[in-house]
Structure 1
Amino acid sequence: MTDLGNQSRYWNSTGTSKTFGHPVDPAWLDGVDRRARVLDYGCGYGRLAGLLAEWGFENVEGVDVAPRLVARARERHPGTRFTVLDRPPHLDVPDGGVDVVLLFAVLTCLPDDAAQRALVRELHRVLRPGGRLYLSDLCLQDDLRNLARYERFAGKYGTYGIFETGDGAVCRHHTVDWWDDLLADFTLVAGREVAVETMNGHPARATQRLLTRP
């Protein structure tokens, strides 16, 4: 049975071939010193970490649970640091040691409530007061394909919005109320919706939030 708190087996096999396209708004990083410590949690093959390095950020690190994805990231972006997480979500970072965290399309791949809460607590710990959390993920969609999946798997997983992809992953689209509760220890700065393509090539609307640690 799939471990809903850590799907590393999927991401180290089928998931290595996926591509990701959630956009980053450079304006949400305005005022961040280019020497600031930036962490891309769930970096995959290094798309975002590599992009930030291109924008002049000098201290970017990507972390992920899948060694094969991290190897791909290192090959694509040899000048950027990438680390395999041995005990996710634990980070080998002191309290308040990070200035910015990117969390892009990670919660959807971590459908378990307790696992999401543990991850958010760890990110809160490592962010300095005033540090930024830039979140991009998927709330509930309103198209017929997704509505049918939500209904089909709600009984099996006990949460409306969790579904199986058909190629071995279990994913989750979220209610806004859940996000509000999950992120209650952060301060919301900005929010928006953007058009994205999912890892399996389907159009979707992603919700992005910029938050700070008080």
Structure 2
Amino acid sequence: MKDPQAAYWDGIGATKTFTHPLNPDWLAGWSRNARVLDYGCGYGRVMAELSAHGFRDLVGADPSAALIARGRRLRPDLRFTVLSSPALAYPSGSFDLVVLFAVLTCVPDDAAQREIVTELDRVLAPGGLLYVSDLLLQDDPRNRARYAAHARQSGARYGVFATGDGAVCRHHDVAYLRALLSDFELVDELLIDVATMNGNPSRAVQLLVRKR
């Protein structure tokens, strides 16, 4: 089935600036020869930062052909691939580290999120790390109002909302994210402040988990 948001991410979404910061302290002990996948890489911003930190074996995957094209223009030295489905064309255990930055917010459906996490578990080698950064439920009046309005209109769970420019996104309870990643061992967790892709201040969480 075609992603109902594909047109957004190949259009206005492909012009956005993504901001979730990489915490290099969490990667300090890893060999710079580690096999790294940036799942939902967008235009490769996090890949470029990992490259600047010395990681050499990097690949990015994203369902938006427009974002991948932008990444290839910006960083022709990096490897990008367009995803046609959540499944990856790599054997099990192909990566030592997977980063998943601001991806779950773009996937409002529980089952679709579980499908992504299951696939990333498959391609991670035993002992590999999954580094997740995503947006939390916000408690300000603007966000509470749009969560409630979208829930009334669509029946979606509280935290899903529509942006003014046409994306359907989701903010998460941290307990939900921990449960989503419960097959992994939690290594560390960090609350951070970020700007959303539309420039609004937001609270986020980063979770570093290890494949058992």
Q: Is the structural similarity TM-score above 0.5?
A: yes
What is the Cα deviation at residue 4 of structure 1? 10
**Structure 1, residues 76-101: CA drift from partner, whole Å, max 9, x if none?**
111110100122x1111111110000
When the two structures are superposed, what TM-score results if normalisation uses the length of structure 1?
A: 0.95
1:120 match = 117
**Structure 1, residues 125-174: CA drift from partner, whole Å, max 9, x if none?**
00111100110001111111111111111121330000000211100011
- Cα RMSD of the aligned pairs, angstroms, is 1.4
Q: Is 2:162 the partner of 1:141?
A: no
For 1:20-169, what aligned pairs fall within 5 Å after superposition?
Answer: 20-87=18-85, 89-155=86-152, 156-169=154-167
Q: Identity across aligned pairs (percent)?
A: 55
* Unmatched tracts of structure 1, length 5 or more: none
1:13 match = 11
In 2, Cα distance between equivalents of 1:7 and 1:105: 15
In 1, Cα distance between equivalents of 2:209 and 2:107: 20
Structure 1 residue matching 2:72: 3-state secondary structure: helix
Deviating runs (4+, > 4 A) in structure 1?
A: 3-6
| Larger deviation, residues 7-16 vs 61-70 | 7-16
Change (3 A) 1:172 1:71: same
* Unmatched tracts of structure 2, length 5 or more: none
When the two structures are superposed, what TM-score results if normalisation uses the length of structure 2?
A: 0.96
In 2, Cα distance between equivalents of 1:106 and 1:7: 13
For 1:192-211, what aligned pairs fall within 5 Å after superposition?
Answer: 192-211=190-209
Change (3 A) 1:72 1:189: same
What is the Cα deviation at residue 7 of structure 1? 2.3
Change (3 A) 1:28 1:6: farther
